[in-house]
C-alpha cells in the first residue's frame, strides 16, 4: 500500500540521527530496514503484547455491537492499523498502512528500554484514533491513556513514543478523512419478483425514528478499501433466476429451516444461528486477540494480526455492500411472503412467514440479500487465519456476545466459516447461494489482502 505521510519529529532527529547515520543499512531512497535476525529482531521479540492487547480489549468493550457492522468494521480497521503503524515506525519489521517508516535505529534503544517508546506510541496512537471513530468513549479513553502513560518511566524515549503515536494517528486520520458516513436512508422499493424491498420492522421503520422504507449504507461499496484495489474487485456473478430449480431449492430450504418455530430445524441449528448473530468484526477481533495470547505473540506480531484481521473484515463489508446494491436482491422474508406471486409455480408462499422470534435474534438486516456480508466476514477471517498460521487445522473455541455462556469448539478455521455461513439460513436471513458466494468472496479478498499488505520486510 502507498504510504502518504512522512514523520520529521524534531526529537527524533535530535535523539537518533547519530545512530541512524552510523547504520550500515541506510538506503538513500527510503527508510532504514533492519536485516533479518538483527539485534532489532531480538529487540522486537523482547517486547510483549500487553499494551497492544490492553487498548484493543478496552476499545472492544466500548464499541462491540454498539454500531452497525459496516461502521464497526471501519473503526476496528483504523484503530488496529494505527497501532501497527506506530510500532513499525519505531522498528520497521512490517510494511505500514498510512505512515512511512522512520526506522528508529540507535544504540539508545535496547531490549531493556524498548517498552518505554513502544508502550507510549501504542497508547497514544490508539487513543487519538479511537476517540475520533467512537467519540462517546472519550472519557474512558482519557482515563486509560493517563493510566497507561503513568506507568511508563519518564524519559526521552517515552516522549518520542508519544510523538510517534500522535503522528501515526494524524497519518491515518488524514488518509481516511473523506470516508462516507454509513446511514439509514429512504430506498427505492422493488416492484418485480426478486427485487429488494425494505425489511425494516414496521414498528421502527417510520419517521422520525428511521426514514420510510429504510435501507442501510447503499453507498458503502464505494468506500476506499483498506487492502483491496476496489469495491467491485471480487463481485460474484448474478443470483439465481427466480424461476430456476436452484432458486426453488434455496427457497424451500430457508422456508423450512429459517422460520419461527420451524419443526425441521434442530435445536443445535437454532443455537448456531443465534450464536453468530453478533457483529463479525468484533467477533473476529476477539478471536485474533485470543490467538495472540495463546501463541505468546510479541507486540509487533499481535499488532499485525489484529490489523490484518480488521482489514479483511472492513474490506469484506465494502466488497459485499457493493455487490448487494448492484444486484438488489430481495430477502427471504419478502420472497416467502410473496411466494405465490413470484412467477415460479414451484414456490408456495406464506404471508405469515417470520424469522425466529428468539432471544438474541435481530430483525432481518435492512440491506439486500445477495451476497451475505456475514458469510463474507467468516470466510475472510478463516482464510486469513489459514494463511497466517499456514494451516487450516487448529483446535480452538469461540464464545459469542449474542448467545452468552455458550462455547462452540472447532478443529479448523474452515469449520468456523461453514457454521458462520449456515447460521444465516437457520435464522431466515439468507438463501444458500447468498452464503456460498459471500464466503467465497471473503476468502478471495482475504488472500489478496494478506499477500499484498503489512508484509514482513525481506
355-403 pLDDT, tens per residue? 999 998 999 999 999 999 999 999 999 999 999 999 999 999 999 999 9
- Which pLDDT band holds residue 208 (cuts at 50, 70, 90)? low
- Which pLDDT band holds residue 40 (cuts at 50, 70, 90)? confident
Task: Determine the pLDDT at residue 107.
Answer: 73
Task: Determine the pLDDT at residue 38.
Answer: 62
Residue-wise pLDDT for 414-446, tens only, equals 999 999 999 999 999 999 999 999 999 999 999
- Which pLDDT band holds residue 12 (cuts at 50, 70, 90)? very low
- Which pLDDT band holds residue 232 (cuts at 50, 70, 90)? very high
- Across the range 294-301, mean pLDDT stands at 98
Task: Determine the pLDDT at residue 199.
Answer: 82
Q: What is the DSSP string of 368-418?
A: --SS-HHHHHHHHHHHHHHHHHT-SEEEEEEE-SSSTT-EEEEEEHHHHHH
Q: Residue with C-alpha cell 471473503?
A: 442
User: What whole-number distance in Å separates Cα of residue 164 and Cα of residue 255?
Assistant: 55
Can you give the pTM of this predicted structure?
Answer: 0.92
pLDDT reading at 34 higher than 60: no
pLDDT reading at 308 higher than 60: yes
Of 1-5, 111-115, 174-178, 409-413, minimum mean pLDDT range: 1-5
CA nearest to 356, candidates 264, 246, 249, 280: 264
Three-state SS at 252: helix
Task: Determine the pLDDT at residue 21.
Answer: 34
**Could you tell me the three cell numbers for 207?**
419517521
- Across the range 191-211, mean pLDDT stands at 76
Task: Determine the pLDDT at residue 6.
Answer: 42
Q: Are 453 and 95 in contact (CB under 8 A)?
A: yes
- Which pLDDT band holds residue 207 (cuts at 50, 70, 90)? low
Task: Determine the pLDDT at residue 35.
Answer: 47
* CA 124 to chain centroid: 22
- Across the range 318-333, mean pLDDT stands at 98
How many helices (H) and strands (E) the chain has is answered by 15, 4
Using only C-alpha atoms, the chain has a radius of gyration, in whole angstroms, of: 24
Task: Determine the pLDDT at residue 166.
Answer: 97
* CA 92 to chain centroid: 24
Three-state SS at 31: coil
Integer distance in angstroms from the first to the last C-alpha of the chain? 16
β-strand partners of 184: 216
Q: Domain segments of the chain: what residues?
A: 10-175, 189-452
Within 13 Å and on the Cβ side, how many CA atoms surround 71? 17
Does the domain at residues 189-452 carry the CATH identifier 1.10.645.10? no
- Across the range 295-324, mean pLDDT stands at 98
User: What whole-number distance in Å separates Cα of residue 276 and Cα of residue 435?
Assistant: 13
Higher pLDDT, 53 or 210: 53
Q: Which segments within 189-271 are labelled E, that is strand?
A: 214-216
Task: Determine the pLDDT at residue 210.
Answer: 76
Three-state SS at 48: strand
pLDDT reading at 109 higher than 70: yes
Residue-wise pLDDT for 116-153, tens only, equals 999 999 999 999 999 999 999 999 999 999 999 999 99
Three-state SS at 214: strand
**Could you tell me the three cell numbers for 267?**
435445536
- Across the range 190-213, mean pLDDT stands at 78
Task: Determine the pLDDT at residue 33.
Answer: 52
Residue-wise pLDDT for 256-269, tens only, equals 999 999 999 999 99
Amino acid at each position: 500500500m502507498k504510504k502518504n505521510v512522512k514523520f520529521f519529529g524534531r526529537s527524533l532527529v535530535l535523539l537518533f540521527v547519530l545512530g541512524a547515520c552510523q547504520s550500515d543499512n541506510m538506503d538513500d531512497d527510503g527508510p532504514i530496514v533492519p536485516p533479518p535476525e538483527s539485534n532489532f529482531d531480538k529487540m522486537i521479540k523482547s517486547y510483549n503484547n500487553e499494551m497492544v492487547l490492553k487498548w484493543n480489549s478496552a476499545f472492544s468493550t466500548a464499541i462491540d455491537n454498539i454500531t452497525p457492522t459496516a461502521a464497526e468494521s471501519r473503526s476496528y480497521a483504523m484503530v488496529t492499523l494505527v497501532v501497527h503503524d506506530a510500532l513499525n515506525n519505531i522498528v520497521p519489521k512490517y510494511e505500514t498502512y498510512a505512515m512511512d517508516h522512520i526506522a528508529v535505529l540507535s544504540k539508545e534503544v535496547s531490549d531493556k528500554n524498548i517498552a518505554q517508546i513502544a508502550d507510549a506510541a501504542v497508547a497514544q496512537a490508539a487513543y487519538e484514533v479511537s476517540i475520533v471513530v467512537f467519540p462517546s468513549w472519550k472519557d474512558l479513553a482519557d482515563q486509560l491513556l493517563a493510566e497507561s502513560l503513568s506507568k511508563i518511566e519518564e524519559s526521552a524515549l517515552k516522549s518520542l513514543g508519544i510523538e510517534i503515536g500522535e503522528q501515526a494517528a494524524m497519518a491515518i486520520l488524514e488518509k481516511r478523512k473523506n470516508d462516507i458516513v454509513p446511514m439509514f436512508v429512504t430506498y427505492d422499493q422493488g416492484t418485480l419478483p426478486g427485487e429488494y424491498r425494505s425489511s425494516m420492522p414496521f414498528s421502527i421503520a417510520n419517521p422520525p425514528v428511521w426514514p420510510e422504507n429504510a435501507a442501510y449504507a447503499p453507498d458503502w461499496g464505494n468506500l476506499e478499501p483498506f487492502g483491496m484495489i476496489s469495491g467491485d474487485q471480487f463481485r460474484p456473478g448474478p443470483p439465481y433466476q427466480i424461476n430456476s430449480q436452484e432458486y426453488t431449492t434455496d427457497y424451500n430450504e430457508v422456508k423450512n429451516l429459517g422460520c419461527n418455530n420451524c419443526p425441521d430445524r434442530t435445536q443445535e441449528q437454532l443455537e448456531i444461528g443465534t450464536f453468530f448473530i453478533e457483529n463479525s468484526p468484533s467477533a473476529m477481533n476477539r478471536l485474533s486477540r485470543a490467538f495472540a495470547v495463546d501463541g505468546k505473540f510479541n507486540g509487533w506480531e499481535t499488532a499485525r494480526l489484529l490489523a490484518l484481521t480488521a482489514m479483511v473484515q472492513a474490506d469484506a463489508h465494502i466488497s459485499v455492500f457493493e455487490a448487494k446494491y448492484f444486484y438488489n436482491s430481495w430477502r427471504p422474508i419478502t420472497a416467502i411472503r410473496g411466494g405465490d406471486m413470484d412467477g415460479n409455480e414451484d414456490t408456495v408462499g406464506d404471508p405469515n412467514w417470520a424469522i425466529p422470534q428468539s432471544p438474541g435474534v435481530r430483525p432481518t438486516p435492512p440491506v439486500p440479500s445477495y451476497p451475505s456480508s456475514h458469510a463474507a466476514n467468516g470466510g475472510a477471517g478463516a482464510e486469513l487465519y489459514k494463511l497466517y498460521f499456514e494451516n487450516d487445522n487448529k483446535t480452538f473455541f469461540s464464545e459469542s456476545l449474542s448467545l452468552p455462556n455458550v462455547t462452540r469448539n472447532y478443529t479448523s478455521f474452515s469449520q468456523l466459516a461453514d457454521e458462520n455461513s449456515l447460521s444465516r439460513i437457520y435464522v431466515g436471513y439468507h438463501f444458500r447461494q447468498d452464503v456460498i458466494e459471500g464466503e467465497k468472496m471473503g476468502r478471495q479478498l482475504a488472500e489478496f489482502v494478506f499477500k499484498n499488505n503489512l508484509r514482513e520486510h525481506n
